[in-house]
Structure 1
Amino acid sequence: MRTTFLDPGALRTELSLQAAELTDDGLGGHITAWQEVATVFGLIEPLSQTSRFGAGQVQEENTHRITIRRRDGVAAGMRLAGQARAFDIVTVHDPDESGRYLMCRVKEVEP
């Protein structure tokens, strides 16, 4: 098994780990509010940027990898936010199965 080395000092960006809380809007739908679950520190690395044209408009998508210290309860569908940015968590995995870190593949969204 290959162990991934990561300088713990690289995890210096303060982020808010948030979970969606759905509230009934009274009209058969819901309103999404984000509630902070924890404060974490992470390393944000850009992965890809794509631009698509559809329905008469340009749709841009930026994906990143955010590495944080391992903690229970981090899952797809949550988000990380900080420094006037927000990232929806798409996938979460332990890169070397050592139980030290979690790598989150995320998509940048409007905060």
Structure 2
Amino acid sequence: MTPDPGTLRRRLVLEAPVETADGAGGTVRDHVAVATLWAALAPRGERGVVEADSAGAVVTHRILVRAGPEITTLNRFRAGSRLFRVVAVRDLDPAGRYLIVDAEERID
């Protein structure tokens, strides 16, 4: 099954982690933009979570993108102020032209 390219309507920024020295013997992790990709973004489910006494929710999404830059679970996607942590990546078609990315978005 090959998806209709017209369904890729959202522009998402693919970000990769970078670590820099903090000057005290440790490191600081940040993310930098690697590529901007057209994507289809579909919510799949949600669950409530509590982290450090802060209630919120995690929404799972399925993201469809054309294959291009390597995407791993170290990457994340950004859409404005929204962040999507990559959980899993797999090929959609045998030719490897499209990827399905399972991602999580934390909402506070």
TM range (shorter): 0.7 to 0.9
Which 5+ residue runs of structure 2 have no aligned equivalent? Answer: none
Counterpart-to-counterpart distance in 1, 2:55 and 2:28 = 26
- For 1:65, the equivalent position in structure 2 comes to 62
| Identical residues among aligned pairs (%) | 33
- For 1:12, the equivalent position in structure 2 comes to 9
TM (norm. structure 1) is 0.83
- For 1:45, the equivalent position in structure 2 comes to 42
Which 5+ residue runs of structure 1 have no aligned equivalent? Answer: none
- The alignment covers a number of residue pairs equal to 107
Counterpart-to-counterpart distance in 2, 1:66 and 1:27 = 39
Q: Is 1:25 aligned to 2:47, yes or no?
A: no
Amino acid at match of 2:3: L
Judge which range, 97-106 or 45-54, deviates more. 45-54
TM (norm. structure 2) is 0.85
Give the ranges of 4+ consecutive aligned residues of structure 1 lying more than 6 Å apart after TM superposition: none
